[in-house]
Structure formats: C-alpha cells, structure tokens
Structure 1
Amino acid sequence: MLHIDIHSFSYKKGGIPTDHSGNGGGFTFDCRGILNPGRIEEYKSQTGNDIGVQEYLETNTEMPKFLELVKSLVSINIDNYIERGFENLQINFGCTGGQHRSVYSAIKIAHFIEQKYGEKVEISLHHDEQHHLNS
C-alpha cells in the first residue's frame, strides 16, 4: 500500500519538511503566489480549515486553478507508484506562516486523494505550524 504524507508548513518558521521515509523527493508546492487571506483582518486568526478562509480562497484567488494543476501532477506519480509497488510519497504545501493557504491546500489534496484512490493509499495529514488541526 502506498503511504502518502501530506504536510502544510511555513517557509518562515520551519521550512520544507524532511522526508523521514528515506526516499527523498516527492512534491513541495509553494502557495505564496496565491493572494494571502491572512492579510485581511477578519481572517488573521483563522486557518485554512475555517469556512471563511476557504470561501475567500475559492472565490477571490487563483487557488482553485492552482489545486487543479496540483491534482494532475500528483495523480501521475500516485498512479505510477501504486503500479510499481512503491510504499511512500510526500506532498508538501508551504506558505508564509503555514496557517491559511498551505493548510487549505493540504486538506483539499488529502480529500481529493482519498476520494480518487480510496483503499489503495493511506494518508497522513500533518499541519506543521497548526498542531491543533492534527488528528
């Protein structure tokens, strides 16, 4: 079974997460090119897990287009890794503070992968700066 580690992280605080599987590689997507809802007062204390931030990202930014492209890219590798019997893949999403854009992206991609691949994969979702969101 393919185990997929998905991380949201902060470029400022912790940097790109280490791949502890020993394989190296995977994907790291920079979300800083997407308009930051953290600069808007009502969203400053929220995260990408909150409805207001999600609606903002979905309606006022290029985030939907960005994530569609991410889905296409990661699907190529996931399909190939499953076919070849690989065991690990890491997908990272970074933004300035690891709070809004990266959290949203990690959640959405985890959901997409769960829906598309179901029992063929096992997903671990890690919010490196937002520990309270980790289950």
Structure 2
Amino acid sequence: MVGESEQQQVVLVTGPSGAGRSTCISILEDLGFEAIDNLPLSFIPRLLSAEHGPRPLALGVDVRTRDFSAAALTETLDDLTMIPGLDVRLLYLDARQEVLIRRYSETRRRHPLAPTESVQTGIERERLLLDDLRARVDILLDTSDLTPHDLRAQLTDWFVTEGGDAVPLAVSVQSFSYKRGLPAGVDMVFDCRFLRNPHWDADLRPRDGRDPEVGAYVQADPRFPAFLQRLSDLATFLLPAYRDEGKAYFAIGLGCTGGKHRSVYTAEKLANALELDGWRVSIRHRELERRTGPDVSARGTDQR
C-alpha cells in the first residue's frame, strides 16, 4: 500500500537515457502511483495546480520531453514547491558510462541526442545537459549493477509503507566480493577479510556463509564476537539519527575476498541483530545472486 498523507506525493523521475527511467515508471505504477511519461514541462504546474487526486503521482521527464533542459526542470521544481498540498521529490536514475553504452548496444537503439553519431557522443552530451540537476536531486539511484528485481526492491523501500504512515527507514545489509568492487549505493562498508577464511578448508570451500559449519568456522575466530557486537552497536546508534534526519534507505556493505563465506555469514548475523532490534531489514548476497539469481529477502516488520 502506498502511503497517504494530507499532501499529494509527486515524484519526478529523470536521468540519462538508458539508466532505467521507463522501468522505474512502470514499477511505480505497479506500486500504486498514477504514472505519466514525457509530459511537456510547461504542462506539469498546470496539471498539479488543479485539485489534487488521492493517488501519488510519478512523472517521467528526460531529454526527449518537449522544452526539456536542466534549467527548465529546476524552474518547474521551484514552481511546484509553491503549490500548497504537494510533496515533490526529484528521483534521479544514473549508471556508469560503460553500462549505458552496453545497454544501448544490447537494444540497438540510437541515442536521442546523437541519432546519426555514436552512442558515446550522445551520452556525453546528455551528461553535460543534466549535470546541474544533481544539486537538486532528492533521491539518487545508481542502476549500474541493479536488475529490474533489485530496482523494484529499492523503490519499494523508498515509497511503500504499511498503514499509510510516513516512509520508515529501510535497512539493506549486503555482502560482496572486493574483487568485483563495492556495491552501488552503500552508505557504510566494513571489511571482513581479517577473519578466518573457510576457503582454506577443503570441506567448507564449496559451501557459503549460510551453511552452519561455515558459520561455526567463522564464529570460532576469537575476534568475531567483538567485531559483530561493535558493528551492531554502531548500526543501532546511527540508524535512529539517520531516520530522524529523514533518510528513508540505508545500506550497509560487508565485504570479503570472494563474497561467499565471511561477508555472507557476518551479513546474516548483523541482519538478524538489527531485526531483533525492530528495524525493517532486507539482505542481499551479491556474489551468491550471480549463481542463483536475485533473492532480496525482507526481514522485520517494525517501522522504527
């Protein structure tokens, strides 16, 4: 259920072509938003100055939108903030340049700003056009490493609540391999590579950190209990402060060499501790998903 309040929620979705704006609009529509894509900017204030509807509204705008520019969109945002009864946010989807190029290559589409030139030329032009918008962004999502499933999970964390209350702080705990780099969008990162490594045990090597014997092996490291306790204490100390500042989503990354044993076990234990403390927690194991497919599990129900 999408949260309701006295104000109508309006989300303007933008970002470079290929970053997932159309997918995002479709997901928001599934979540209960009324979705309108590529409405001319000059029409938006007129649309919203009328009587507000009961449903939240998602508006897609990008370089294909008539009269689009960063200055025009910024002016539109300023106009909307002057309309009583609106809660307006700018959601910006981004992706690394090589990812955008790959996506265009896969779809064989031409870039709207370089229809007769290279995709790279169009992407560079678009980035220059959009650069000034980043200062006005309320929510920035990097979709470089996100599947549509992952994007849905993140949008759900941002915009969906139970009972129509304000959006609570959603916590994501993610394990990863340093070999493949940091996950996109994490707020805090902790290195688990100092812990005993089950990789060097031939019986444990093919298993992962969810296996009880792997967990017992990591747990037997005399440094692990104090490490987990300090992690839990730090998270439970900081999360209320981030929530009180209005942050809706907080991601904690835990990394090890292969992203299979130590980081997975630590992420499971930290997620359990935060869940017991009443936080709404989802957990992802990035490297395990590469083998088995995405499985973002939601944990906890208290909207603290």
Q: TM-score, normalised by structure 2?
A: 0.40
1:33 CA drift (Å): 0.9
| Conserved? CA contact 1:35–1:61, under 8 Å | no
Matches for 1:1-135 after TM superposition, within 5 Å: 1-12=168-179, 14-19=180-185, 26-117=187-278, 121-131=279-289, 132=292, 134=295, 135=297
Aligned-partner Cα distance in 2 for 1:41–1:26:
35
Aligned-partner Cα distance in 1 for 2:222–2:200:
13
Q: Which residue of structure 1 lines up, in the alignment, with residue 51 of structure 2?
A: none
1:3 CA drift (Å): 1.1
Paired residues in the alignment total: 126
Q: Which amino acid aligns with 1:122?
A: R
1:39-94 CA-partner distances (Å, limit 9, x unpaired): 11111001110000111111234222111111111111112123333201110000
State which structure, 1 or 2, has the greater radius of gyration over its C-alpha atoms.
Answer: 2
| Conserved? CA contact 2:195–2:221, under 8 Å | no
Aligned-partner Cα distance in 2 for 1:65–1:53:
18
| Conserved? CA contact 1:6–1:125, under 8 Å | yes
Runs in 1 of length 4+ with deviation above 4 angstroms?
A: none
Aligned-partner Cα distance in 2 for 1:62–1:47:
20
Question: Of Structure 1 and Structure 2, which has the larger fraction of its residues in helix?
Answer: 1
Q: TM-score, normalised by structure 1?
A: 0.86
| Conserved? CA contact 1:95–1:101, under 8 Å | yes
RMSD (CA atoms): 1.6
Q: Which amino acid aligns with 2:276?
A: Q
Which protein, 1 or 2, shows the higher relative CO under an 8 Å CA cutoff with sep ≥ 6? Answer: 1
Q: Structure 1: which 5+ runs fail to align?
A: 20-24
Q: Which amino acid aligns with 2:243?
A: I
